[in-house]
Chain A
Amino acid sequence: MAAAHTPETSWRESATGYLFLAPWLIGFFGLTLGPALVSLYLSFTDYDLLSNPRWVGAANYVRIATSDPKFSAAMHVTFLYVALSVPLKLAFALLVAMMLNRGLRGLPLYRAIFYLPSLIGASVAVSVLWRQVFSGDGLLNQALKLVGIHGPSWISNPDTALYTLVALAVWQFGSPMIIFLAGLRQIPKDVYEAAEIDGASRSQQFWRITLPLLTPVLFFNLVVQTIDAFKAFTPAFIISGGTGGPIDSTLFYTLYLYQEAFAYFRMGYASALAWVLVVIIAVFTALSFLTSRYWVHYDG
């Protein structure tokens, strides 16, 4: 085998390789890179899908930066959502992971149950369910009524609508939880035993052992969940009926982008918005990596 490594066989070997890679390559160039480049071009045009794109230079970006109040509104909503939902979700995921890590009986079952919301999380059905729970005479208010509280219509009140979406995100803590659980399993038991002999309390053990040794996993979850939160779309789309209302209180960035592209036929402007989002996510990811050296410990 090693002796027969002629150019012909190596071509044959790599041809087979490329053949197996082909679906991915076609997908990457045809469905990812190609459209991305087209959208980059469109972001410098005025394009309504019917007429030909008209080159406008940086005008779309200038408008985003200087004179688009809806852009600012969408930014505000999205950042608030990311800032609230990501830490809460991770904290909750870690909490549940630690509970499950205590060696419960029937652990796989609990794992599956807790993971379920994540599995179906971004789906239309769950968002519809959420709408039912938090609407004026939904499940939540019926429960509140039992204790004599008359709740508002949470999803259709501008003061509370976004928080119901944060709650929905936190509820979908399953996938970071599974990853935390795997991370917790990696921490050697003898470290805790040694700490216990030295008289470390539970909370000391958590802050000095669990958390530091878990930072690589925490870092991974943080990056993935932050990117996901920036891209969140379906819950807001379903719950507000695509309006981002009431009063733009659930106008997620991606929802605004969708409206511009497909409701108002401003594909050029929407493309520019999309590229701004790419840059924002890239900046946040880069920041996470840059700061990681100060708080992520790989020397487990």
Chain B
Amino acid sequence: MSGFALSRRSLIGAGIGGATLVGLGGLPAAAGQTRLRMFWWGAKERAERTDKVNQLYLGSHPDMTIASETLGWTDYWARLATQTAGRNAPDVLQMDYRYIFEYARRGALLPLDAYVPKALNLSDFSPAAVDSGKVDGKIYGVSLGLNSTAMVYDKGLIQSLGLKEPVWNMTWNEIGDLAAEITKAAKRDGFTGMEDGGGNEPLLEVWLAQRGKSLYTAEGKVGYDDKDMTEWLAFWSDMRKRGASAAPDVQALDRGEIDSNLLSLGKIAMTFAHSNQLVGFQAINKSKLGLSTFPDGGQGAKPGQYLKPAMMWSVSAQSKQAEAAVQLVSYFIADTEAGKLLGVERGVPASSAVRNVVTPMLDDLGRAMVDYISLISDKVGPLPPPPPRGAGEIQAVLRRVNEQVGFGRLTPADGAKQFVAEASAVLARG
């Protein structure tokens, strides 16, 4: 799910079109040279940081070249799958929790256990951080940063309206009340307090977790029933009626990227996103932004949010320079000099040593993110089972069903029935 959200950010640059091929030391590889290919999703800011690390690494590895390539989130997965199918996978690739099980179980990734601790230095990783990259007991991915869902809000606007900023332990209804107040106080045409979150899958996941349910069971079935979904869709239907959240034709303008998010379009004051996206949001929003948690389930509810590896490095099973690839990965995640260059752009570093070096040199934004991660660290639940095959499509189904309710084509109850039936059918088909 950070994948879904990260895509918003990484797609900003992708609109310009296509891949930026950055060949470092791009001369044809001479005899005895190791040529590594590296592929990841992300935009300009990430490209600059990544290339700096590569250059630093090449300084002490003159016998090496690194061809580093980037695309936006959506195009990235299509390209990676195509390259893997064509036996042309990059040596080092950026992996997401949503896909690591699919790739690992199909033998596309190299198990990294044999390289620890000599080539791969995980000594400063917590056991939980190491486990987050494991599939069936073996390490297939190494975390580049920790991340969680977060509410991004227009701090400047809410303060100027004389209202209270959202805090971490607000319930769903309290957030709704605040949103309605913001709408009323702002008095702007087509402006509402918060986004219509009914079609937002990470938000639904947190809401379900607070009631002890999940999006998917460990067996890959849906983890909720008609009743849950009816309440969910009815909650957002009510929010729209109260003017607390965006009208359906306004919400439909959000195409899942930071630059089309209603907050960036100046249509709402609160949006449901991911913590490391704060940098991306702030870059294109004039007003000062703040970070808070998703709504709390109220007294006695289970924790809904969880910490997840924002992004991981994996090594392709097809790689002919596996050892060199693993060493490069190790440099990225465990070297303090590399850590300084990467900052928290991919999330908060998982290595405690790197985190200790990076934290003091952060700007306000970076510090807000680190503070946020430490604030929620003792309020989070366990990492849920990974999304099964077909889960990507269910995101689209959720969005559509919420639109059908929003445009008055379905009642919340009928929408719930339809959603559960369609989601189950998608999972059955795989």
Which A residues form the contact surface with B (CB < 8 A)? Answer: 48-51, 124, 135-137, 152-153, 155-158, 240-243, 245-248, 259, 262-265
Question: CB within 8 Å of A: which of B77-96?
Answer: 77-78, 81-82, 84-85
Q: A50-B103, A137-B190, A264-B390 are in contact. Are A243 and B399 (CB under 8 A)?
A: yes
Task: Provide the main secondary structure of the chain A interface.
Answer: loop
Kindly report which residue of chain A lies nearest to residue B190, judged by CB atoms: A136
Q: Provided the pairs A49-B85, A135-B253 are in contact, do residues A264 and B393 lie with their beta carbons within 8 angstroms?
A: yes
Stretch at the interface among B141-149, B210-218, B402-410: B402-410
Docked Cα-Cα span, A157 to B247, in Å, equals 11
Task: Report the bound CA distance from A136 to B247 in whole Å.
Answer: 11
Knowing A50-B108, A247-B400 are in contact, say whether A156-B250 is a contact too (CB < 8 A). Answer: yes
6 of the cross-chain contacts (CB-CB < 8 Å) are: A50-B81, A50-B85, A50-B106, A136-B250, A155-B253, A247-B407
A56→B250 CA distance, assembly (Å): 43
Q: Is the CB of A245 within 8 A of B84?
A: no
Q: Bound state CA distance, A137 and B188, in angstroms?
A: 13
Cβ of A241 and Cβ of B256 under 8 Å apart?
yes
B390 x A49 contact (CB < 8 A):
no
Q: Are A124 and B253 in contact (CB under 8 A)?
A: no
Residue in A closest to B393 when the chains form the complex, CB atoms: A264
By beta carbon, the residue of chain B nearest A158 is B407
- Inter-chain contact count A-B, CB under 8 Å? 78
Q: Are A245 and B260 in contact (CB under 8 A)?
A: no
Question: With A246-B252, A247-B407 in contact, is A49–B84 under 8 Å at CB?
Answer: yes
* Interface check B298, CB cutoff 8 A: no
Among B250, B393, B403, point to the contact of A153 (Cβ < 8 A): B250
Beyond the given A263-B78, A264-B390, please list 9 additional residue pairs across the A-B interface where CB-CB is below 8 A.
A49-B82, A50-B81, A50-B106, A241-B257, A243-B255, A247-B404, A247-B407, A259-B396, A264-B392
With both chains docked as a complex, state the minimum distance between the C-beta of A274 and any C-beta of chain B, in angstroms: 16
CA distance A102 to B403 in the complex (A): 50
Residue-wise interface mask of B (375-402) relative to A, using a CB-CB cutoff of 8 A (1 in contact, 0 not): 0000000000000011011001001100
Q: What is the CA–CA distance of A136 and B404 in the complex, to the nearest angstrom?
A: 19
Residues of B within 8 A of A262 (CB): 74, 77-78
- Is the C-beta of B102 less than 8 angstroms from some C-beta in chain A? yes
In order of increasing CB-CB distance, the 9 nearest A-B pairs are: A241-B255, A156-B252, A49-B81, A262-B78, A153-B249, A246-B252, A49-B85, A157-B249, A50-B106
Set B249, B393, B396: member contacting A136, Cβ < 8 A? B249
Count of chain B residues near A, Cβ 8 A: 35
Q: Let me know if A156 and B253 touch, CB within 8 A.
A: yes
Q: How far is the CB of B246 from chain A (nearest CB, A)?
A: 10
Q: Which of B200-250 contact A (CB under 8 A)?
A: 248-250
Instruction: State whether the Cβ of B17 lies closer than 8 Å to any Cβ in chain A.
Output: yes
B contacts, CB < 8 Å to A? 15, 17, 74, 77-78, 81-82, 84-85, 102-103, 106, 108, 190, 248-253, 255-257, 260, 389-390, 392-393, 396, 399-400, 403-404, 407, 409
User: Which B residues touch A157, using CB under 8 A?
Assistant: 249, 252, 407
Task: List, in ascending order, chain A residues with CB within 8 A of B74's CB.
Answer: 242, 262-263
Q: In the bound complex, do residue A263 and residue B392 qualify as a contact, i.e. CB atoms below 8 Å apart?
A: yes
Residue in A closest to B86 when the chains form the complex, CB atoms: A49
- Determine the distance from Cα of A248 to Cα of B256 in the docked complex, in whole angstroms: 16
Q: A247-B409, A264-B390, A264-B393 are known contacts. Are A50 and B84 too (CB-CB below 8 A)? A: yes
A149 nearest CB across to chain B (Å): 14
Q: Are A246 and B407 in touch, CB under 8 angstroms? A: yes
**B252 in contact with A51 (CB, 8 Å):** no
A153 B84 Cβ-Cβ under 8 A? no
Complex CA gap A155/B251 in Å reads: 12
* CB-defined contacts of A264 to chain B, threshold 8 Å: 390, 392-393
**Do A240 and B393 contact each other (CB < 8 Å), given the known contacts A49-B84, A50-B84, A263-B74?**
no
Q: In the complex, which residue of chain B has the Cβ closest to the Cβ of A51?
A: B106
Contact with A152, one of B249, B390, B393 (Cβ below 8 angstroms): B249
Taking CB as reference atom, which chain B residue is nearest A264?
B393
Q: Inside 8 A of A245's CB, which chain B residues have their CB?
A: 252, 399-400, 403
User: Is the beta-carbon distance between A247 and B403 smaller than 8 angstroms?
Assistant: yes
CB-nearest residue of chain A to B396:
A243
Instruction: For the complex, give the distance between the alpha carbons of A50 and B81 in Å.
Output: 6
- CA gap between A155 and B249 in the complex, in Å: 8
Bound together, the chains give a CA A51 to CA B81 distance in angstroms of: 10
Tell me the minimal C-beta distance from B279 to chain A in angstroms. Answer: 22
With a cutoff of 8 Å between Cβ atoms, the chain A residues found around residue B17 in the complex are 124
How many angstroms between the C-alpha atoms of A242 and B256 in the bound complex?
Answer: 10
Name the A residues within 8 Å of B255 (CB-CB): 240-243
What separation, in Å, do the CA atoms of A158 and B403 have in the docked complex? Answer: 9
| B252 and A153 within 8 A (CB) | yes
- Closest CB in chain A relative to B240 CB, distance in Å: 14
Most buried by B among A48, A241, A247, A264: A247
**Chain B nearest CB, measured from A92 CB (Å):** 28
Whole-angstrom distance between the Cβ of B101 and the nearest chain A Cβ: 12
| Minimum CB distance partner of A63 in chain B | B429
Closest residue on chain B to residue A131 by CB atoms: B253
A202 CA / B194 CA spacing, docked (Å): 60
CA distance A247 to B407 in the complex (A): 9
Instruction: Write out the residue numbers on chain B whose beta carbons fall within 8 Å of the beta carbon of A246.
Output: 248-249, 252, 400, 403, 407
B170 to chain A, nearest CB (A): 29
Return chain A residues, CB-CB under 8 Å to B108: 50
Q: Contact at A265–B81, with CB atoms within 8 Å?
A: yes
Chain B hits for A158, CB < 8 A: 403, 407, 409
Chain B residues with Cβ below 8 Å from A155 are 253
Does B253 lie within 8 Å of A153, measured CB to CB?
Answer: yes
Bound-state Cα–Cα, A158 to B249, Å:
8
- How many angstroms from the CA of A137 to the CA of B251 in the assembled complex? 13
Chain A residue numbers with a CB within 8 Å of B393 are: 263-264
- Closest CB of chain B to A258's CB: distance in Å? 9
Chain B, residue nearest A242 (CB) = B74
